[in-house]
Amino acid sequence: MKAIRVGRTGGPEVLELADVPVPSPGAGEALVRQSVAGINYIDVYVRTGLYKRDLPFIEGREGAGVVEAVGEGVTEVKIGDRVAYAQTPNLGGYAEANAVPVRELVPIPDGVDDRDACAVMLQGMTAHYLANDTFPLRPGHVALVHAAAGGVCSTLVQLAKARGATVIATVGTEEKAELARGLGADHVIVYANEDFADATRAIVGEHAVDVAYDSVGKDTWERSLSLLRPRGMLVVYGNSSGPVPPVEPQKLASAGSVFFTRPTLVDYIRTRDELLGRAHDLFDTIRNGKLHVRIGATYPLADAAQAHRDLEARKTTGKLLLIP
């Protein structure tokens, strides 16, 4: 089968199309013949070596397709079932097929196609826990959402609005600003044109943001922190501009006894019930027409390197997918 293999860490050029054996599902695993594979910014961290993996490896941790074979002891899925997954520790997602632990597979219901299902597995469930659990939004809350036209935040803006929050979105271009407005953002700041912190204060006043959702990291976290109300929360869940440096606890006290958290999806889907609950909630909102899944671009499997270049250059909006 064809797969994108990484033999050394580095830039997008290390993503090489290769012929590899079709994996055999072990005990508790299912072989998924993939119709689509998801691209996420965490894949960049793995490719560059920021997140360590033994070499060589097949990139990617998200996909959807049909169960083609099952390993010993598998009863939860059967051959022919449509399934999706994310966060598999085995990686192997950028491939025509992947052997995935059954505990990580989510059945795809009728009325949701494979591409939409794949698109909300990692990014959609991330947005779900951010809005519902990390900081449970409610009417009256003001939420600052960075990179609002991206894969996670295009869903997060919609979920935040559904929970009654006022959303201040930041984006890099006027085109992305229009997308954010279309998703329901109340206020949109183009940070290429003005400082987002000054613009936010002009909209809601000093120290009036309840929660800042920051996936940018190094370039934005300190200004995000400065906007929070007393006992507000800074949620840094990504570092596209680089990692946040060590934070002195006294800085949080001086900012108004604020909270600072660095969540990750794996801790919000620790049980199978939690995984299925989040996925099914998202699938239901798709089927009910309450959540629009924005597929930003699709690429042939062989073009994975170009997809990473586009992602890192911030040329993309919405979810990026590979088609094996």
**What are the residue boundaries of the structural domains of the chain, listed by start?**
2-120+293-323, 124-265
Contacts for 28 with CB less than 8 Å, ≥ 6 apart: 71, 72, 73, 74, 101, 102, 103
User: 2-120+293-323: which CATH number, 3.90.180.10, 3.30.390.10, 3.40.1170.10, 1.20.1250.20?
Assistant: 3.90.180.10
CA gap 299, 36 in Å, rounded: 10
Burial of 196 (0-12, 13-18, 19+ CB in 10 A): buried
Fold match between domain 2-120+293-323 and domain 124-265: no
pLDDT by position in tens, the chain (length 324): 999 999 999 999 999 999 999 999 999 999 999 999 999 988 999 999 988 999 999 999 999 999 999 999 999 999 999 999 998 888 999 999 999 999 999 999 999 999 999 999 999 999 999 999 999 999 999 999 999 988 899 999 999 999 999 999 999 999 999 999 999 999 999 998 999 999 999 999 999 999 999 999 889 999 999 999 999 999 999 888 888 899 999 999 999 999 999 999 999 999 999 999 999 999 999 999 989 998 989 999 999 999 999 999 877 777 999 999
Give the per-residue pLDDT at 89: 81
Beta bridge partners of 322: 37, 299
pLDDT in tens, 11-22: 999 999 999 999
Exposed e or buried b per residue across 249-284, where buried means at least 16 C-beta atoms within 10 angstroms of its C-beta = eeebeebeebebeebebeebbeeeeebeebbebbbe
Q: Which two tokens stand for residue 141?
A: 């809350």
pTM over 0.75: yes
For residue 72, count other CB atoms closer than 10 A to its CB: 9
CA gap 54, 61 in Å, rounded: 15
User: 124-265: which CATH number, 3.90.45.10, 3.30.9.100, 3.40.109.10, 3.40.50.720?
Assistant: 3.40.50.720
Distances (CA, A) of 53 to 138, 228, 234: 39, 36, 29
Contacts for 147 with CB less than 8 Å, ≥ 6 apart: 153, 170, 171, 172, 215, 216, 240
Distances (CA, A) of 64 to 4, 36, 206, 226: 16, 6, 45, 41
